[in-house]
Amino acid sequence: MSSDRSSLFRLVHLPPDLAQQLRDSVEEAFQGLGGATAELILHYARTQHKVNVKELPVGIDELDNALKDILGPGRRMVVNHCAEILARRIGKDVRVKTEKLGDVFRQVVKVYEKRGPPKGESASLFGDAQTVLPSNYVE
């Protein structure tokens, strides 16, 4: 990562299952489009934007770019659906204020940052490894 971009990132500690909740929410939202459509979008994201859904939230901005390329303004439907699913799964209100999937997840991150990790837990996004996420998100 370049030093210019690294200034935009910070460490965020989250419950270890939050990344899995994001991945599951994205997959469920995509399946709502229909199996063949979901596979087409995911294939495009993998081949053209180097997105590995199993590594989300790493690559979430690239997934946003793939959705924009394929669906244009229609990506908002997928983002809204994913936000609804994620909100239901984590039991938190997730309000979509942009048409970016990454912003939805960053909003969830903000909720957990304010609350902090449960007492005695220092879990990060992927267990013991720390993960960096952009700090320039829209609430």
Domain assignment present for 98: yes
Domain assignment present for 80: yes
- Residue 89 confidence (pLDDT): 85
CA atoms within 13 A on the CB side of 76: 7
State the pTM of this model. 0.70
Domain assignment present for 105: yes
d(CA 77, CA 80): 5
Q: DSSP secondary structure string, 49-74?
A: H---GGGTTTTHHHHHHHHHHHHGGG
- The pLDDT tens digits along the chain (139 residues) read 444 433 333 444 556 678 888 889 999 999 888 989 999 999 999 999 999 999 888 899 999 999 999 999 999 999 999 999 988 888 878 778 888 998 888 888 877 776 655 455 444 443 333 344 444 434 4
Domain assignment present for 126: no
- Residue 14 confidence (pLDDT): 55
d(CA 11, CA 54): 20
d(CA 135, CA 50): 22
User: Total structural domains in the chain?
Assistant: 1
Domain assignment present for 5: no
Domain assignment present for 131: no
Task: Residue 77: give the domain boundaries.
Answer: 11-113
